[in-house]
Structure 1
Amino acid sequence: MHKAVFGELAEGAELSYRAHGKKLLVGHKVGNGIRCTCCNTVVSPSRFEAHAGCASRRKPYLQIYTSNMVSLHQLSIDLLKKRSLSTKEHVDLCSLCSNGGDLISCDRDKCTRAFHLKCARLPRIPSGLWYCKYCENETQENKDVDQGRSFLVEHDEGGQCALCGGHDFIKDVFGPRTVMICDQCEKEYHVECLKDHNKQNLEKLPEGKWFCCSDCDHIHNVLVKYVARGEMNLPDSLLSLIEKKPEEKGIESEAGLDIKWRVFNENLVDHNETMSLFSNVDDIFHEQFGPIVNPTTAGDFIEEMLYGKKVKDHDFRGMYCAVLTINQMVVCACLFRVFGQEVAELPLVATRKDYQRKGYFRSLFSCIERMLGCLKVKNFVLPATREAKSLWTTKFGFSRLGREKINNYQKYNNIMAFKGTLFLQKPIPQLQKIQQHSSISRNILSLEAYSCAEMRA
C-alpha cells in the first residue's frame, strides 16, 4: 500500500522528510515520485531519504510527511482500511511457524490467519466455529494498544558506521561506502573504514555470514554448538536453588524430576522436531504478556522474535531462546540476543504461573549468564516494568541504567525497548573473576567446563 498512496496525493503536493522533529528536505509529488528541491529531479522515496542525508535509516514512508503532518505510512494504513476484501483469502503458511502443510483457518470475518494443529495447540479439528488466539484476545489487545503498553518504542539513532559514525552508504554496487552488517553484533561498517582501521580489507561481498571480528565469529560458533547440543543437565549447585515439590503438576516425586535446559534458534533447528517446543514457549509468553503489537507491521513482536523473523525495520534472526524443562515440560523461557562482547539483551522472560517464585528461572538465568561469561560478554541489559524493578535489582543484581549509557548502546545496537519500562544492566561475571573464588568455582565447574571446552573447540 506504500506505493499505492501516491495515487491518493494531488500532483504537486508538498512533501517533506523529517527526523528528530526537524524538516531536513522539501519536495513535491510528481507521479509516483518526488521532485527533490536539492537537485530538481524526480526521485523515489528512498532516494529522497538519501538526499536528506538519512539513507541508512531505510524508513522513507515513516519519515516523509505531507503538509498536514501525516506520514505516507499512516496514509497507506488509512487507505488499506478503506479497501475491504471482497472474499476472505487465507494465507497458505502457518501464522506461527511460517511453514506450509495441513492448516486450520480462523473463522472470524476478515481474519486470514491459518495454523497447524500443533502450533495452535489443538488435539483435533474443531467441530464448530474456531477463532484463533489473536481474535480471542482482540479485546485485551485493543485495550493494551489504547494504553500504549503494547507498542515498541523505536529509537532513531541507529544506522551508522560504528567506526566513523557516518550515515551514508551505497546500496546498488560494492564500493568503499558499502555498509557491511556483522551477523553477530549487528553493527554497521563502511568497507573503507574497515580497511582504514586495519580490520578487514574486503574486495567483494563475502559469501554467507560475515563477522566484523574474530570475537563475533567465535561467539556465533559457540552459540550454534549450544543449539546443536540440545538438552543439557543443570549443575547440582543450580538444582539446589529450586524448590522441588512432589505435588506439583506432572511431578510424582523428587526422584522423578528430570530438569534440563537448552538453547535454540528457529533458523538453526529442524522445526518438525521442535514444533511442540516452540508452541509451548509461545503459550508461556502470551500467557504473561498477551500479543505485543508491532505498530509497523501489525504483527506480534513475541512471535517475530521467537521465530527469528526478519520484518520491516527489525531483524530477529540473531535472537535465541533458552528454556528450562521438567520431565520435558517447558517451565520457563527467555529470549536473548548477543551484540558481540560488549552487551547482550534479555527482552522477554516468562515462567508458568504454577512454577513462579520457586527458583526455576534463577537457575536458567545462571546457565545463560555463565555461558556468556565464558564468551567474555561484558553486560546484560533488559527492559523492566517499574513493578518488576525491585525483583531484578534485589535477586539478580541488576541496576538502573543511565540515559547516556542507554543512548550509547542504542546508537549501534537495535536493543528492544518498550513503553513504560526501565532499562536495567548487570555486569556479567567473567571466568577469571569467578575462578578467584575457589568455593564458587567448584560449585559451577560442571557448567563452566562445558562452556570453556566449547570455546577452545
Structure 2
Amino acid sequence: MYMNELPSGNWFCSVDCGILNFILERLVECGPVKVPHSLTGLIKSTVGDANGIGITNSDMKWIVLRGKGVSDENRVLISQAVDIFHNCFNPIVDSITGSDFIPSMAYGETMGDSDFTGVHCAMLIIESKVITAGMFRVFGADVVELPIVATSETNQGKGYFQLFFNCFEKLLAYLKVKKMVVPAAEDVESMWIQKFGFQKVTPTQLREYRQTMTSMVAFQGTCLLEKEVVGPHGGATFQNGFCFRLSSV
C-alpha cells in the first residue's frame, strides 16, 4: 500500500521518534536549567571575572531552544549564538543558493534542498549572555548530529567547551540516544578524539549514514567522527520527560 500524498501536520517514522519530538518540545518549554555547582569544577577559577561583572559559577544555566518559531525573548539568545558561530568559523555558504548555512540552521529554516526545521540549539548562558552554544539534530534514538559548536572568543580556554560537552552528553543519555556524530576539521580532529573519546566513522558506516540520514550536514574538508553516548540511560518518559535536570551523577 502506498500513500498518494504526505500526511498533514507532524508525522514521524516511528513511535520512538514521536516521543523524542514530544520530549524535546517540553524541554524547550521548560526554559533555562541551573548548572549545579558539582559540574562547574571544569571551569577555571578566573571565570568569576570573565565578563567583568563579578559573575559566579552559580549563575550559569543550560537551555535548549528551537529556532523555528522561537519567541522574541529567546530570539536574542539565538542571535548571540549565531554571532559566536560567525566569529569562530569561516563563512559556511551553500554552493547552489549562495546563502549562509549558519542562520538558516539556527532559525530552523529551509534552504534549497536543505531542511533545518528539526534543528535545536543548546547553550550555556550567564545572565542572558551566551557563552557556549551548539546546534544539534536528533535522528531518532540511534544518532544525534552536532554540526556546529563554539565558545565566545572572550571565554575560550576557560573550560566552558568541556562543560558544555559534559552537559550535552547528559542530555543525550536522558533522551536515550545511542551515538553522537560531529563533522571535524583536520585541525581539531585530534581534540575530539583524544579529549572527548570520538573515533573516525568507518567508510561502511559513513555510507550507511548518508543513505539513511540524507539530511545529515556534510561540510567540505571535514571528517565525520562518532562516539557512543556515555551516562545513565532511560530518563526520558512521558511521566518525567517534561523537565531535564543536570546532575553530577
User: Residues 383 and 346 from structure 1, CA distance in 2 versus in 1: closer, same or farther, beyond 3 angstroms?
Assistant: same
**CA displacement at 1:177 relative to structure 2:** 5.3
Is 1:249 paired with 2:51? Answer: yes
Q: Do 1:324 and 1:333's aligned partners in 2 also have CA atoms closer than 8 Å? A: yes
Q: Do 2:30 and 2:243's aligned partners in 1 also have CA atoms closer than 8 Å? A: no
Is 1:375 paired with 2:175? Answer: yes
Counterpart of 2:176, as a letter, is K
- Corresponding residue for residue 203 of structure 2: 403
Partner SS for 2:68: helix
The separation in 1 between residues aligned to 2:108 and 2:238, in whole angstroms, is 24
What TM-score do the two structures reach when normalised by structure 1? 0.50
Quick one: higher RCO (CA 8 Å, sep 6+), 1 or 2? Answer: 2
**CA displacement at 1:178 relative to structure 2:** 4.5
**CA displacement at 1:394 relative to structure 2:** 1.5
- Corresponding residue for residue 189 of structure 2: 389
Partner SS for 2:190: helix
- Corresponding residue for residue 364 of structure 1: 164
- Corresponding residue for residue 247 of structure 2: none
Which of 102, 127, 134 is residue 327 of structure 1 equivalent to? 127
The separation in 1 between residues aligned to 2:55 and 2:4, in whole angstroms, is 60
- Corresponding residue for residue 15 of structure 2: 214
Which of 73, 93, 117 is residue 273 of structure 1 equivalent to? 73
Which of 238, 241, 244 is residue 454 of structure 1 equivalent to? 241
The separation in 1 between residues aligned to 2:164 and 2:151, in whole angstroms, is 11
- Corresponding residue for residue 95 of structure 1: none
Counterpart of 1:400, as a letter, is K
Deviation digits for residues 289-333 of structure 1 (CA, Å, limit 9, x no counterpart):
132111111110001101100121110000001111122211111
Q: After superposition, where does 1:144-293 map in structure 2 within 5 Å?
A: 176=2, 178=4, 205=7, 207-245=8-46, 246-252=48-54, 254=56, 257-270=58-71, 272-293=72-93
- Corresponding residue for residue 81 of structure 1: none
Counterpart of 2:192, as a letter, is W
**CA displacement at 1:431 relative to structure 2:** 2.4
**CA displacement at 1:179 relative to structure 2:** 7.1
User: Residues 247 and 431 from structure 1, CA distance in 2 versus in 1: closer, same or farther, beyond 3 angstroms?
Assistant: closer
The separation in 2 between residues aligned to 1:355 and 1:452, in whole angstroms, is 37
Runs of 4+ in 1 over 6 A off after TM superposition: 448-452
RMSD: 2.5
Which of 204, 213, 217 is residue 416 of structure 1 equivalent to? 217
What TM-score do the two structures reach when normalised by structure 2? 0.88
Is 1:318 paired with 2:118? Answer: yes
**CA displacement at 1:209 relative to structure 2:** 0.4
Q: Do 2:140 and 2:177's aligned partners in 1 also have CA atoms closer than 8 Å? A: yes
Larger Rg: 1
User: Residues 391 and 232 from structure 1, CA distance in 2 versus in 1: closer, same or farther, beyond 3 angstroms?
Assistant: same
Deviation digits for residues 192-225 of structure 1 (CA, Å, limit 9, x no counterpart):
xxxxxxxxxxxxx3x3101121110110011111
Q: Do 1:227 and 1:269's aligned partners in 2 also have CA atoms closer than 8 Å? A: no
The separation in 2 between residues aligned to 1:250 and 1:451, in whole angstroms, is 42
Gaps of 5+ in 2: 245-249
Is 1:305 paired with 2:109? Answer: no
User: Residues 449 and 375 from structure 1, CA distance in 2 versus in 1: closer, same or farther, beyond 3 angstroms?
Assistant: closer
**CA displacement at 1:451 relative to structure 2:** 10
Counterpart of 1:267, as a letter, is K
Counterpart of 1:318, as a letter, is G
Q: Do 1:219 and 1:340's aligned partners in 2 also have CA atoms closer than 8 Å? A: yes
Counterpart of 2:13, as a letter, is C
Aligned residues: 242
The separation in 2 between residues aligned to 1:299 and 1:244, in whole angstroms, is 41
The separation in 2 between residues aligned to 1:253 and 1:369, in whole angstroms, is 25
**CA displacement at 1:352 relative to structure 2:** 1.1
**CA displacement at 1:403 relative to structure 2:** 1.1
- Corresponding residue for residue 111 of structure 1: none
- Corresponding residue for residue 429 of structure 1: 230
The separation in 2 between residues aligned to 1:213 and 1:391, in whole angstroms, is 35
User: Residues 431 and 290 from structure 1, CA distance in 2 versus in 1: closer, same or farther, beyond 3 angstroms?
Assistant: same
Q: Do 1:378 and 1:430's aligned partners in 2 also have CA atoms closer than 8 Å? A: no
Counterpart of 2:241, as a letter, is E
**CA displacement at 1:353 relative to structure 2:** 1.5
The separation in 1 between residues aligned to 2:193 and 2:125, in whole angstroms, is 25
Partner SS for 1:209: coil
Q: Do 2:77 and 2:128's aligned partners in 1 also have CA atoms closer than 8 Å? A: no
Partner SS for 1:291: coil
- Corresponding residue for residue 124 of structure 1: none
Deviation digits for residues 4-48 of structure 1 (CA, Å, limit 9, x no counterpart):
xxxxxxxxxxxxxxxxxxxxxxxxxxxxxxxxxxxxxxxxxxxxx
